[in-house]
Amino acid sequence: MKLYTLFILFTVGILYSGNTHAQDDKKAMSSSKFMSAQQDSLRAKDTTSLVKAKKDTVPKHDPRIATRRSAILPGWGQAYNKQYWKIPLVYTALAIPVATYFYNDSYYKKTKFGYEAMYAAAHGDSSLIPLIDPSVKNLDGTPLSAGSYQNYRNSFRRNRDYSVLWFLIAWGVQVVDATVFAHLKQFDVSNDLSMDINPTFNPQTRTPALALTLSLKSPLRKPITR
């Protein structure tokens, strides 16, 4: 009987010690998991802070600089936006009205002189007719009529004025292009944009509904470094 009692006490002691050891292991495991979770959280915070620090140190792209530069020199704003492939297009768009300006201005002067020469010849002075440019004469070398020279003169003058207008329009378009694309460079497409659809309850109609939530992170204004 004593041996049986000792055996029971011995078995209970072993089970109790094993249970105590298991509880200690569970506490140790939970504490280690808690510590690892804290370390992971600290690492995530450090990574986030590093990313924010890098973003803060990167100079902001200022659209006003692109506008000023493109207004001063065509293509300079596109170079600031790092859109170098647009620079040849800008100068091509500006070169066309410049070329048409000089072409029309040249023929305007020639036809103007031809009109003045024929007008003077109509009043008895034919000394200016031989000085009329051959490019504004007939194929046989005879001059045109005074009315024809007058019409051509007015046409070339109008086209010359339009060339100036188109040059100013092309200059303004490249300024607008540099400004718009400078603004688009700051367009936020990161994970800070979020849209959620959540169920809700409409108290007026007493019916369930859906709520659409669009979250936008407001950009922080940082000093511009040049």
Higher-confidence position of 87 and 28: 87
Domain ranges for the chain, please list them.
63-184
HSE-CB of 36 using CA atoms within 13 angstroms: 6
Average pLDDT estimate for 90-94: 96
Q: What is the pLDDT of residue 49?
A: 56
**Given a cut of 60, is residue 1 above it in pLDDT?**
no
Average pLDDT estimate for 50-74: 76
Q: What is the pLDDT of residue 21?
A: 47
**Given a cut of 80, is residue 131 above it in pLDDT?**
yes
Average pLDDT, the chain: 77
Q: What is the pLDDT of residue 74?
A: 94
Average pLDDT estimate for 80-100: 95
Q: What is the pLDDT of residue 205?
A: 73
Q: What is the pLDDT of residue 44?
A: 56
Give the CA distances from residue 121 to residues 112, 113, 151, 178, in Å, rounded to whole numbers and listed in that order: 14, 12, 18, 55
